[in-house]
Amino acid sequence: MQDFSQIDIVDLRYFNENLGDYMKEKEYTDILVLYNAAGFAEDASVAKLALASES
């Protein structure tokens, strides 16, 4: 099992920066996205994940 020296939490509902730029700046190698099914289907901030992949 892999350990991580640092874990950051980002709440997309309140995160107003460019997510892709933020991820590059922090040099993330792994990410975990947690949502429940209803929240994922209804939360407009999920679109930020798509924008992050374009950066």
Cβ 34 vs Cβ 2: under 8 Å:
no
Give the CA distances from residue 36 to residues 6, 14, 16, 28, 40, in Å, rounded to whole numbers and listed in that order.
24, 18, 22, 23, 6
Task: Give the integer Cα–Cα distance in Å for 12 and 49.
Answer: 9
Whose tokens are 């107003």? That residue is 16
The pair of structure tokens assigned to 19 is 């997510």
Instruction: Report the pLDDT value the prediction gives residue 55, as an integer from 0 to 100.
Output: 57
What is the full per-residue pLDDT of the chain (55 aa) written as tens digits?
Answer: 678 888 899 888 898 888 889 989 999 888 888 877 777 777 777 777 776 766 5
